[in-house]
Amino acid sequence: MTRIGILIGSTRPGRKGDQVARWVHERAARRGDAAFEVIDLLDHPLPHLDEPLPALAGRYQHGHTRAWADTVARFDGFVMVTPEYNASIPGVLKNAIDYLYAEWIHKAVGFVSYGADGGTRAARQLRTLCELLQMGAVTPQVSLSLHTDFEDRATLTPAAGRVSALDTLLDHVVACSTEGGAATPTQRETDEAAIRRRVDGIIDAIKSRDLEGLRRLYSTDVVSFDIDPPLQHVGLDAKLKNWANVFTLFQEVTYEVRDLTPTVGEDVAFIHGFGRLSGTLRDGTAVGGMWVRVTFCFRKIDGEWLITHDQVSVPLDILGGKGVVDLEP
């Protein structure tokens, strides 16, 4: 079913944003043509944008970015609820939008604004911003006035006509978000982005020596054909023991990947490329590492892509019986 996220654009204590989002959600929940969920930026306390690469690159370094990306990626369209702050949108909303790219583009979005004059200047800016992100911004809009739609400028009591304006906005957002709509990314594209984020998760967890972070990426029955003996490492504990050994050997460790190529099915997927582990050993020796061939195989388990198999190898000099470890991708 089409999923629409209702994003609350303000986070300050005592905000009215949650009242407005609740009103939108209550009305939307009566419909049967989509599933609606409130997205609260308080659940995603993002620092000022701290990703070294622009979101366009799609390589998120920080766990908070990936968690935010996972949330946004789950939705086919959005209703953004924004107040007007100094004739614009709240900084926290702009920051949250700037963090991502692929998770926004080609998705429908509608705007519910509020402020002394309906927050229309904020809505206009948000529309421009979303259009730059190649989102499909629907024309119908709801603008709530602090004077006429809030009792004592505090409690939301929407004036006559607001409900039907909201219904029209929702009609458009749902229609433009529904699968088959020209602007909607395919399930395969969504899954491919999720799988790439899993590999980013490996890189991040290795760099921060985060065994618990790695644990979340594998299925419990993972079978790993890792580079080192034995022939296979069976089960999550065996896989994590391998990573623990790496963290014992290395004082600082980095994992790089190149040429990642995903293939995605409905609930099975794999991605292959080249990987290199390098860093500094406990005794201070710098280790440049070697490029190896790597394949991660995933199954979608309870809606989450988990690694159920990985394969790491180097080419073999057949006559000499030795691995060739000095090749570059």
Per-residue contact track with ligand FMN, 9 to 48, x per CB under 6 A? -x-x--xxx-------------------------------
Nearer to ligand FMN, 10 or 141 (CB): 10
The size of the interface with ligand FMN (CB under 6 A), counted in residues, is 14
3-state secondary structure of 49: coil
Would you say 146 and 113 are in contact if contact means Cβ atoms under 8 Å apart? no
Residue 117 lies near ligand FMN (rule: CB under 6 A): yes
- For ligand FMN, the binding residue among 32, 86, 139, 283 (CB under 6 A) is 86
Instruction: Kindly indicate which of the ranges 67-75, 116-124, 158-166, 171-179 contains the residues binding ligand FMN, using the contact rule CB under 6 A.
Output: 116-124
State the alpha helices, DSSP H only, in the chain: 17-28, 63-73, 91-98, 120-132, 162-177, 187-207, 211-215, 236-249
Nearer to ligand FMN, 123 or 137 (CB): 123
Least spacing, CB of residue 126 vs ligand FMN, in Å: 14
Nearer to ligand FMN, 3 or 15 (CB): 15
Would you say 44 and 64 are in contact if contact means Cβ atoms under 8 Å apart? yes
Least spacing, CB of residue 122 vs ligand FMN, in Å: 8
- For ligand FMN, the binding residue among 35, 61, 85, 181 (CB under 6 A) is 85
Nearest to 39 by CA among 1, 2, 84, 70: 70
Place of tokens 């702050």: 85
CA angle, residues 142, 144, 148, in degrees to nearest 5: 140
Q: Which two tokens stand for residue 282?
A: 């406990």
